[in-house]
Amino acid sequence: MIDIHCHLLPLVDDGPSSIEQMLSLAEQAAKEGVTRIIATPHLFHPQFETTDVDVNLNVAEVNVLLNQRNIPIVVFTGHEIRLTGDLIEEVRTGIALPLAGSRYLLIEFPSTGIPSYARQVFAELISDGYVPVIAHPEKNKAIIQNPTLLFDLVSNGAISQVTCASLIGKYGKDVQRFAVALLENGLAHLIASDAHHTEKRPFYWEQCRKFLSKELEEWLFEEIYENNEAIYLDQLVTINPPNPVEKNWKGQWI
């Protein structure tokens, strides 16, 4: 299994604060069936100064440590990029890294909203051959209040990724049901751990698999996991026609 969003690199952002913590997190991933991880440290996040971090070097060093510890995981480069108005230039100059050297860029919005320039920046990225991957839209307050915002971005070429923690209810039932509804309605296409620590924010892959195997139709369940591999292989992600998400008369997401 391939995890496309994980804060595995030690001493970089809010991920592991030591090499031993990183190794413990990787061991947990291996036990839950993960074989490849795309390391996605924050970039341009207001709380973390990571622009000078050499992600390629860090990933190479982590792979050496994993091999020495006989942990059967290979790590690849990436970023979780906070959206900026100049993102196209930051990608072109190699400051902002795509996922595993692919056409896919993992992009994070502020938790409370979507910048007004998002659609224009996404259009520039798509014109340049990249595919924006919106990280954890199920936790974005503006999208929760108005899912049409996500529908518009997906309809114009973006895709999105929900987290294992959301899907198993770690952020509450409403977020859980919203995340499922996004998958069922073609507004989310990928699942990732967004893991940071073995205790506070672990992988949850096993619980997520069990939950989704019961919640989703088999074809959709399989398709989502195949999409994760498509990111790593730089192949086309399967995209189903997006449908608007809304609440029924009971106030439940459908």
Instruction: Name the residue among 65, 12, 24, 18 with its Cα closest to residue 202.
Output: 24
Q: Provide the domain count of the chain.
A: 1
pTM of the model: 0.96
Is 89 within 8 Å of 69 (Cβ atoms)? no
Q: 245 in a domain, yes or no?
A: no
Q: CATH number of the domain that 7 lies in? A: 3.20.20.140
**Residue 38: its pLDDT value, please?**
98
Residue 251: which pLDDT band, with cuts at 50, 70 and 90? confident
**Residue 181: its pLDDT value, please?**
96
**Residue 164: its pLDDT value, please?**
97
| Residues facing 39 on adjacent strands | 6
Q: Say whether pLDDT at 246 is over 90.
A: no
Report the side by side order of strands in the sheet with 42-43.
42-43, 80-82, 104-108, 131-135, 159-163, 190-192
Residue 247: which pLDDT band, with cuts at 50, 70 and 90? confident
Host domain of residue 139:
2-233
pLDDT tens for 158-200 read 999 999 999 999 999 999 999 999 999 999 999 999 999 998 8
